Structure 1
Amino acid sequence: MTQILDWRPDPGEVIEFEPTTDRAPVPHDVPASYFQRSHMQSAAAHRAAGRRQSPWVAMVFDLPGRADTDALAAAWQGLVRRHEAFHTWYEPEGDDLAGFRLPPGSVTVRPSHVGDFTSTGDLRAYLHRRLDEQTATTSWPGLLAGVVRRDTTSTVYFAIDHAYTDGHSLALLFDELRTRYDAALAGAPVDLAPAHGYLDCNRRERERSAALTADAPELAAWSEFLAVGDGGFPHFPVELGNDTGELLPGTRLHYPVLTGAQARAFRAYCGRHGGGFGAGAFAALALAQWEFTGNDVYRVLTAVSTRAYPRLLHTHGWLVNLVPLLFRLPSSPTLAGAIAAAQQGFQQARAGYDVPVHRALELLLTEGDVPAIPPMASYLDGRTAPGSADYLRADTRLLTGPDNASGVSMWFNWFPDRADLVVSMPDTPQAAAGVPKYLDRVREIMLTASGGPGAGRDPGQPPT
């Protein structure tokens, strides 16, 4: 996960792939999801205030040699027609969002020559501007795809309004686009099953949410989470210099945590103590919090997939929710003792995967709202994503725009060659001084459990 301002693309010839249609869009009556509505309202507020925004998430990866633009255009056309997220959308209509769709077969994609770039800085500035412009549109398509062609290696890039995609969906596109490209080069058909559309997910979410009441059993975990925190969200264990909780310019840290071998050893350690890798990571966060603050109750919002059925595994959309993770460390806390508690806490939180965070808080909070960017801690096992074994060779990266943050958000990612931690936080002197110290301790706890430095002592005990 790389901010675009930190990306250094080699110059080359830029080709973009433009989707067009000869048909007029047709309205649909499926409401936007809670996350989509929140995202689009936030984007509208930025537009109204005249602030530049980057409402997209993007992926870049390399192809060998000088890419064939006709084959890439064919790959994109097949992909856009297959996935509902690329031919259905929402537009502001008063205080609401109106839905529209196109017949998939009416969409065609053609390559368009942009020009040759000889400077990395100029190329990145152009792509940043185009990504912002194309994905901030309130109408179709909200997608930008292209390639930087060079003789030895070409870099494919694509960005989508975050309202219509999540990280898993981007990973699916990495694999599908390469599969379609290879097939087009070989003149072979592509045998892919139709992908289930995300609008059905939106419809089911709205129907389930409408039936919820504040005393519904599905909200028990939320009620406990908010009660422990006096009705609010958890505070980060170190000072951030943002007492008002406003959205500030952010900065990003990237922590290599474990090598591939160390990650497997850490997972084995967690398994011996009643949990998985994710439980071990949350236990390490909780232990470091206890050491810094004396607080033995760990609370955090964590991301979970809502792809509950096999038919949704290939769906493109924003199929992620935030759930309330809460657990208490045992007396005389150690990592070994904390893992089982973290695992149990996560399982309880995961049981409410289909209760939208916005709906839960709408029912339970007497005042206040969901922050535009809620602080969270996410764990993703990226080793299972299609094509993940090629990420390193293809220099695959998830790109985001410049950060804004009110608190700290963390993403633990486990890939075939490593486990790393990406952190977004307010760009304040206090956060810059305190957050790295906390994260260094989290990493030390995990390294020790994996057999790394400090393995001779219990990974839950503070250093002497």
Structure 2
Amino acid sequence: MRMTQILDWRPAPGEVVEFLPVADRAPEPHDVPPSGFQRAHLGMAAARRATGQRQSPWVALAFDLPGRADPEALAGAWQELVRRHEAYRAWYEPRGDGLAGFRLPPQALTVRPVRVGTFATTADLRDHLHRRIDEHTAPGRPGPGLLAGVVLRGTRSTVYAAIDHAYTDGHSMALLFDELRTHYAARATAATTGPTPAAAAATGPTPATTPAGPDEAVGYLEYNRREHERSLALTPDAPELALWSAFLAAGDDGSATASGGFRALSGFPVDLGTDGHALVPGVRLHYPVLTGAQAEAFRAFCARHGGGFAAGAFAALALAQREFTGNDVYRVLTAVSTRAYPRLLPVHGWLVNFGPLLFRLPAAPDLAAAVPAAQQGFQRARAAGDVPLHRALDLLPGTALPVIPPMVSYLDGRAAPGSRDFLRTDATLLTGPDGAAGVSMWFNWFRDRADLVVTVPDTPQAVQGVPKYLDRVREIILTAATRPAP
């Protein structure tokens, strides 16, 4: 699955049909508090909106179906999804100084196809979709922050769906890709005897199991409630906060220092042309790192030296940092999935936390020696992922999270639902134009490749300097991946 900003997306022209959910009753209030990330996300969106800044804080998915897609079948597939998943029918709205929750029962929603019109150029189509997505996914608006549709063409059609980031994450997008295609194939029939060839080609073999109905699905509100309960149970002296305390107190030499905290995280191996804290327009860089075969070889190299693929990636980042700055302590926030038990695996929502990744490089200058230290640091960070980040910061004195904190995410997408079809369907994860305070990175490992997507401040210093650091990171990784096994 590719990851790109919508401004860099090049959809072919065609006829647009939107799938709009219509409710037959008023939403019901609910008393489940928003997660810490939702509260921060919605608050930042409101602050930016108040200053007149354009908002695109959503995540979207686009993929192709063969031939001219059946809008009625797609509308039925979307109806199945919005009824099944709370992410598409439960939301939060600003009320005074807080957020009020609302939701619609599954059967209250019906999805209807609405023909919008034909767009003759890629630029006109992309601009239209960007505007409509911004309108329908604006944080804090009444109703689910969702827009879905299809661009119809004779030989292939492009399905798209966008949702406010407060209610989705990368795992949810993979679930959406798989479930929507499955539901569409079940409906796109030329006769009552079975699916059309186009529908069968869209999804491949029919899955052995059918997604659960609305009453069987677990919602993200259950996750929010559990997070709230965990937060209330934490106290300032809780042992679960020990790693966070060490992480926030660590200076460049790994010792406790007043210069630690999140302010020290703004230090990057090259000049970014900003103070690392003020949010400025960002630019997205994409780096192919390894082919599919090279990625397997790199994983084998890491395993021989006591770690996994992620540990090798973090070790390479740390080694390049030391070459650029002399600093042998690597410290960064890393994204950690909070789908900690099986019932949460099929849930659509934003079920992610940040873990504190901290380790010191050994004196040896090579990746083989660095992998074990990175592996231990990564394991500690993942173990701390059950501590809600915002609650940890509330309990630890003198800490405040930057508006968009710099972080490094690692995703092994090879086992994601439908991942075998990502390449042939041109599956693409789309985001709106980003803001950036520092540098954020996404290491993604898919069946055909491993790549690195990076958001940096759009300054001359960052745009010129960050690629020099990333080139060195990629060189370290490639050297290990192409080294003959002993």
**Structure 1 equivalent of residue 417 of structure 2:** 386
Give the Cα separation in 2 of the matches to 1:370 and 1:358: 8
Q: Aligned residue for 1:377?
A: 408
Q: How does 1:264-343 map to 2 (within 5 A)?
A: 264-343=296-375
The structure-2 alpha-carbon separation of the partners of 1:415 and 1:456, relative to structure 1 and needing over 3 Å to count, comes to closer
Partner in structure 1 of residue 206 of structure 2: none
Q: Deviation at 1:333?
A: 2.9
CA distances 1:1-31 after superposition (whole Å, capped 9, x unpaired): 1011100110000000000111111111000
The residue type paired with residue 231 of structure 1 is G
How far the C-alpha of 1:141 sits from its partner, in A, is 2.1
After superposition, residues 79-228 of structure 1 pair within 5 angstroms as 79-136=81-138, 138-186=141-189, 191-193=210-212, 194-228=216-250
Shift of 1:84: 1.0
Quote the offset at 1:184 in angstroms.
Answer: 0.7
Q: Which residue number corresponds to residue 351 of structure 1? A: 383
1:431 to 462, 471, 474: 462
Q: What corresponds to 2:260 in structure 1?
A: 231
Number of equivalenced pairs? 454
1:60 correspondence with 2:62: yes
The letter of the residue matching 1:191 is T
TM-aligned CA deviation for residue 244 of structure 1 = 5.5
Question: Deviations 1:121-162 (Å, cap 9, x if unpaired)?
Answer: 100000000010100052112100000000000000000000
Within a 5 Å distance, the mapping from 1:414-453 to structure 2 comes to 414-451=445-482
Give the C-alpha shift of residue 326 in structure 1.
0.3
Amino acid at match of 2:211: L
Task: Give the Cα separation in 2 of the matches to 1:211 and 1:237.
Answer: 38
TM-score by length of 1: 0.96
Distance 2:52 2:323 in 1: 43
Cα distance in 2 for residues equivalent to 1:416 and 1:387: 11
1:83–1:316 CA contact under 8 A, matched in 2: yes
How far residue 210 of structure 1 moved from its aligned partner, in angstroms, is: 1.3
CA deviation vs aligned residue, 1:27-80 (integer Å, no higher than 9, x gap):
110000000000000111111111111011001000000000000000000010
Residue 332 of structure 1: how far off its partner (Å): 2.1
Post-superposition offset of 1:456:
8.2
Q: Residue 433 and residue 30 in structure 1: after superposition, are their counterparts in 2 closer, same or farther (change >3 A)?
A: same
Structure 2 residue aligned with 1:462: none
Q: Deviations over 1:384-429 (max 9, x none)?
A: 1011111110001000011210100000000100000000000111
Report the AA paired with residue 219 of structure 2. G
Distance in 1 between the 2:394 and 2:268 partners? 23
Whole-angstrom distance in 1 between the partners of 2:131 and 2:397: 39
Distance 1:244 1:299 in 2: 15
Deviation, structure 1 residue 457: 13
Percent of aligned positions that are identical:
72
Contact 1:231 1:365 in 2 (8 A): no
With over 3 angstroms needed to count, the CA separation of the structure-2 counterparts of 1:52 and 1:372, relative to structure 1, is: same
TM-score (norm 2): 0.91
Cα offsets for 1:81-102 (capped at 9, x unmatched): 0001111111100111101111
2:323 is paired with a residue whose SS is: helix
SS at the partner of 1:263?
Answer: helix
Alignment partner of 2:261: what SS? Answer: coil
Q: Is the 8 A contact 1:19 1:141 kept in 2?
A: no
Distance in 1 of aligned mates of 2:369 and 2:27: 57
RMSD: 1.5
Shift in Å at residue 237 of structure 1? 1.1
Secondary structure at the counterpart of residue 275 of structure 1: coil
Give the Cα separation in 2 of the matches to 1:261 and 1:46: 44
**Tell me, which stretches of 5 or more residues in structure 1 are unaligned?**
459-464
2:280 to 226, 248, 265: 248
Q: Encode CA deviations 1:169-191: one digit per residue, 9 max, x unaligned.
A: 01100000000000011467982
433-442 or 205-214, which deviates more: 205-214
Contact 1:281 1:446 (C-alpha < 8 Å) held by counterparts: yes
Matched letter for residue 122 of structure 2: T
